[in-house]
Amino acid sequence: MNTGPIDIHTHVVPESFPEMPGRDAGAYWPSMAAQSCGHNIMIDGRVYRKVDNRCWNCDRRQSDMAESRIGVQVLSPMPELFSYWMEIGHAKTLIRYINEYTAKRVADGQGQFVGLAGVPLQDVPAAIDELLYAKKELGMAGVEIGTNVNGKPLGHPDFEPFFAAAASAGAAIFVHPIRPAGMDRLIGPPNLEQLVAFPGETGLCAMSLITSGLMTKYPDLRIAFSHGGGTLNALLPRIAHGRQCFPKVQALLSESPVETARKFFFDTLVYDLPTLRRLIEVFGDTQLCVGTDYPFDIKEDDPVGMIEKLEIEPDARERLLMKNARRWLGI
pLDDT in tens, 20-45: 776 655 568 888 887 766 788 888 77
Angstrom distance (rounded) from CA 280 to CA 325: 15
Q: What is the spatial distance between Cα 86 and Cα 88, in angstroms, rounded to a whole number?
A: 6
Judge contact between 74 and 65, C-beta under 8 A: no
d(CA 10, CA 14) in angstroms, rounded, equals 14
**For residue 41, what pLDDT is reported?**
87
Query: What structural domains and CATH numbers belong to the chain?
Result: 6-20+53-329 (3.20.20.140)
What is residue 25's predicted lDDT score, i.e. its pLDDT?
Answer: 52
Measure the CA–CA gap between 155 and 303, rounded to whole angstroms.
Answer: 31
Half-sphere exposure at residue 23, Cβ-oriented, CA atoms within 13 angstroms: 0
Asked if residue 30 lies in contact with residue 42, where contact means CB atoms within 8 angstroms, the answer is yes
Please tell me the predicted confidence (pLDDT) of residue 320. 98
Question: pLDDT at position 23, please?
Answer: 62
Determine how many CB atoms are found less than 10 A away from the CB of residue 294. 24
Model pTM score: 0.95
- Parts of the chain with a pLDDT under 50: none
Helix (H, G, I), strand (E, B) or coil at 262: coil
